[in-house]
Amino acid sequence: MRIADAQWIPSTQHQTWDALTDPAVLQRCIPGCVEVSRLSPTEYAVKLHAKVAGIDTDYDGEILMSDVDPHNSCTLVFEGKGRAACLAIGTAQINLSTKDQGTRVAYTVACMTGGKLAEYGEGMLLKAGDKIIQKFFAAFIDYMAAQPRLAPPPPPPEPEPRGLSNSRWSWIVVVLVIAVFWGYHAFYK
């Protein structure tokens, strides 16, 4: 199963990224979400209660972020297991870009199912997956629209230049040392 689309978020790119990686915001916006907890800077545990293709069950899952380019893109690898012998695994490529005073979030989701979910066929699962994604973005857009717009943080300061190549006085000292050695060997030896 593959779903690709894009959404426009009424917020700056850095605010959108920060919200998409905030467990509290994710918990609020993911349909049927019971809990999202951050296990590491790139790993989340998710518990949700969902009804997919007529199967109403609790799911425990994990999301792992890789290829992270903060505020711009990442790849998500996810796995969810339900009590009713349901399994969903997949990946999602997320790309953020500035567009029309907001942020464009483009995504491509590829997913496979197992257990009872797999029996329903790809067509029904595509509809269910798309419905979940649309509900997530509706809640996320509403949340972001209510947030004050903040300017992006300033870039980190450039490190202080170091070494001989960055100091005019260092080169003068080197030239003087060479001149003293040359003069000593030329006139006193």
Q: Which class for 77: exposed (0-12), middle (13-18), buried (19 or more C-beta within 10 A)?
A: middle
pLDDT averaged over every residue in the chain: 85
- β partners of residue 77: 64, 91
Domain boundaries, the chain: 2-146
pLDDT at 135 over 80: yes
How far is 41 from 65, CA to CA, in rounded Å?
A: 9
Q: 107: pLDDT confidence band, cut at 50, 70 and 90?
A: very high
Report the candidate in 16, 42, 22, 46 with the shortest Cα–Cα distance to residue 33.
46
Model confidence over 40-79: pLDDT tens digits? Answer: 999 999 998 877 666 777 889 999 999 999 999 999 999 9
Report the candidate in 122, 40, 48, 41 with the shortest Cα–Cα distance to residue 79.
48
Structure tokens belonging to residue 11: 């917020």
Find how far residue 58's CA is from the centre of its chain. 25
Report the candidate in 21, 20, 1, 23 with the shortest Cα–Cα distance to residue 9.
20
How far is 188 from 111, CA to CA, in rounded Å?
A: 83
Mean per-residue pLDDT, 122-129? 81
Mean per-residue pLDDT, 102-120? 86
151 or 71, which is more confident: 71
- β partners of residue 55: 52
Kindly state the percentage of the chain with pLDDT values over 70.
Answer: 86
DSSP 161: P
Tell the residue number behind the tokens 């004050």, with chain if given.
148
Model confidence over 84-101: pLDDT tens digits? Answer: 657 888 999 999 999 998
Residue 65 has what pLDDT?
A: 95
- β partners of residue 43: 40, 64
Phi, psi of 110 (to 5 degrees): -125, 130
CATH 3.30.530.20 correct for 2-146: yes
Residue 167 has what pLDDT?
A: 60
pTM higher than 0.85, yes or no? no
